[in-house]
């Protein structure tokens, strides 16, 4: 019997005991593994326990550093929380490459965030439009206490408009609201405003003399922010003279630039390639988003919607040759926060933000976009020169050796053996097994 009542009321130890009995046939090593990952600092563990419901242990990700990022003239060390072996190394390599060619430049293209009240109205659109226009001041008055502090920081509600969606669903309309949330990601702020808008909408509909009895029964379906933020966008870019691209791997800069641009162009027109291409960008983006305590699921959803904004999924990055110069850039929608949430609670998040100089939300947008561009440059550079597997599998060797419980001596021999050879999982396994014979 694996169902249980009152699981959330059990202590952490009782939860683990039940899991071990119900799913692992009483195997005590499972409990040992889970408790091994508890923090030895009881207060710190209590903090982690309270982040979510039904905590039984901690799930760690490595926190790495990619140094030497020059962003708008400032040198940054990039905190990256990620388990994929080659990501931090690739970011560091790209940062070093561009640090010698002028660094990364960024531009904030917009900071608008969106929320919507979704409702059903069975009546005349012209009446509804006049009604919403007439109660506009009430939306602002009703949310005055909610927006007071945000307005003091230069943020607040930017605009509220009625949108007719009846071509999609019969009688469906939206109150489409835009917000400026400054250094806060703003989800709770936006949702609180939206729920207040909904209450005003329903209450005032009952009082509006221009509505029939049926029209007064306006039905709010839901009120929620959107994680699609096409007007909260940052651009990151790099550029240099084509001959300045020359490096150990790039012996013919002109040919490299042309091939690189072809690779980007393929990702622009071929969705199957674009998905993997953009996943590489998100390797860098998500790693810094997680390290700084932001919501990587929201970022992922918004970014991939943005990649489809023109009707077909496409590359987020672009490249061109302008005369004798190479240029590479991307635009990313990023709704981020540097206050609230985990920013002051999670010690590693606090460390990461301090490492980055305690950036504002706009500054963090710039930094994270650069992480994505650097990751993408490293990936496409590898694909168009040495091939992606050479660097990736060299970084992956340690994972393979850990799976095989390799000794230090075996590790040293494997690294030496594959120094000038193509690395594959089967090749490493075969070599270690041969050593052991």
Whether residue 92 contacts residue 370, with contact meaning beta carbons closer than 8 Å, is answered with no
Instruction: Report the distance separating Cα 389 and Cα 422, nearest Å.
Output: 8
Residue with token string 């990501």: 87
Residue with token string 């169902």: 3
3-state secondary structure the chain: CCCCCCHHHCCHHHHHHHHHHHHCCCCHHHHHHHHHCCCCCHHHHHHHHCCCCCCCCCCCCCEEEEEEEEECCEEEEEEEECCCCCHHHHHHHHHHHHHCCCCEEEEECCCCEEEEEEEECCCCHHHHHHHHHHCHHHHHHHCHHHHHHHHHCCCEEEEEEEEECCCCCCCEEEEEEEEECCCECCHHHHHHHHHHHHHHHHHHHHHCCCCCHHHHCCEEEEEEECCCCCCCEEEEEEEEEHHHHCCCCCCCHHHHHHHHHHHHHHHHHCHHHHHHHHHHHHHHHHHHHHHCCCCHHHHHHHHHHHCCCCCCCCCCEEEEEECCEEEEEEEEECCCCCECCCCCCCHHHHHHHHHCCCCCHHHHHHHHHHHHHHHHHHHHHHHHCCCHHHHHHHHHHHHHHHHCCCCHHHHHHHHHHCCCCCCCHHHHHHHHHHHHC
Q: Is 148 a catalytic residue?
A: no
Whether residue 87 contacts residue 94, with contact meaning beta carbons closer than 8 Å, is answered with no
Catalytic-role residue among 259, 279, 318, 417: 279
To 5 degrees, how large is the angle CA 208–CA 210–CA 211? 75
Catalytic-role residue among 15, 381, 392, 396: 392
Catalytic-role residue among 84, 217, 244, 410: 84
Q: Is 392 a catalytic residue?
A: yes
Residue of 268, 279, 299, 264 lying closest to 381 (CA atoms)? 264
Catalytic-role residue among 237, 295, 362, 363: 295
Q: Is 168 a catalytic residue?
A: no
Q: Is 420 a catalytic residue?
A: no
Instruction: Report the distance separating Cα 34 and Cα 29, nearest Å.
Output: 9
Instruction: Report the distance separating Cα 202 and Cα 132, nearest Å.
Output: 11
Catalytic residues: 84, 279, 295, 392
């Amino acid at each position: 019997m694996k169902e249980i009542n009152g699981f959330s009321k059990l202590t952490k130890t009782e939860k683990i005991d039940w899991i071990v009995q119900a799913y692992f046939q009483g195997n005590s090593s499972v409990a040992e593994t889970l408790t091994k990952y508890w923090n030895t600092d009881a207060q710190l563990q209590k903090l982690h326990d309270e982040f979510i419901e039904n905590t039984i242990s901690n799930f760690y990700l490595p926190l790495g550093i990619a140094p030497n990022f020059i962003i708008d003239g400032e040198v940054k060390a990039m905190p990256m929380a990620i388990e994929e072996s080659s990501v931090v190394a690739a970011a560091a390599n790209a940062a070093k490459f561009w640090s010698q060619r002028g660094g990364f430049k960024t531009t904030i293209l917009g900071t608008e965030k969106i929320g919507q009240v979704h409702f059903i109205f069975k009546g005349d659109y012209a009446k509804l439009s006049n009604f919403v226009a007439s109660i506009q001041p009430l939306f602002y008055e009703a949310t005055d206490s909610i927006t007071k502090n945000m307005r003091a920081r230069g943020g607040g509600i930017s605009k509220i408009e009625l949108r007719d969606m009846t071509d999609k669903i019969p009688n469906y309309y939206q109150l489409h609201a835009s917000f400026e949330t400054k250094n806060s990601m703003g989800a709770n702020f936006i949702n609180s405003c939206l729920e207040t808008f909904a209450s005003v909408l329903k209450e005032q509909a009952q009082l509006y003399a221009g509505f029939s009895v049926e029209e007064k029964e306006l039905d709010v379906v839901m009120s929620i922010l959107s994680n699609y933020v096409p007007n909260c966008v940052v651009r990151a870019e790099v550029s240099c003279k084509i001959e300045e691209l020359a490096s150990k791997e790039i012996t013919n800069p002109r040919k490299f630039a042309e091939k690189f641009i072809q690779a980007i162009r393929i990702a622009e027109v071929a969705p199957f390639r674009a998905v993997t291409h953009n996943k590489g960008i998100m390797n860098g983006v998500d790693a810094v988003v997680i390290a700084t305590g932001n919501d990587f699921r929201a970022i992922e959803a918004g970014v991939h919607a943005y990649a489809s904004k023109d009707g077909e999924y496409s590359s987020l990055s672009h490249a061109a040759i302008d005369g004798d110069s190479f240029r590479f850039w991307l635009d990313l929608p990023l709704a981020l926060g540097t206050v609230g949430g985990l920013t002051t609670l999670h010690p590693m998040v606090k460390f990461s933000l301090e490492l980055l100089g305690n950036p504002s939300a706009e500054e963090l947008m710039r930094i994270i976009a650069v992480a994505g561009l650097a990751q993408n440059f490293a990936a496409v550079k590898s694909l168009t020169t040495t091939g992606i597997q050479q660097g990736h599998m060299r970084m992956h060797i340690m994972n393979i050796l850990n799976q095989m419980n390799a000794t230090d001596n075996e590790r040293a021999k494997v690294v030496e053996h594959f120094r000038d050879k193509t690395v594959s999982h089967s090749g490493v396994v075969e070599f270690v097994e041969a050593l052991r014979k």
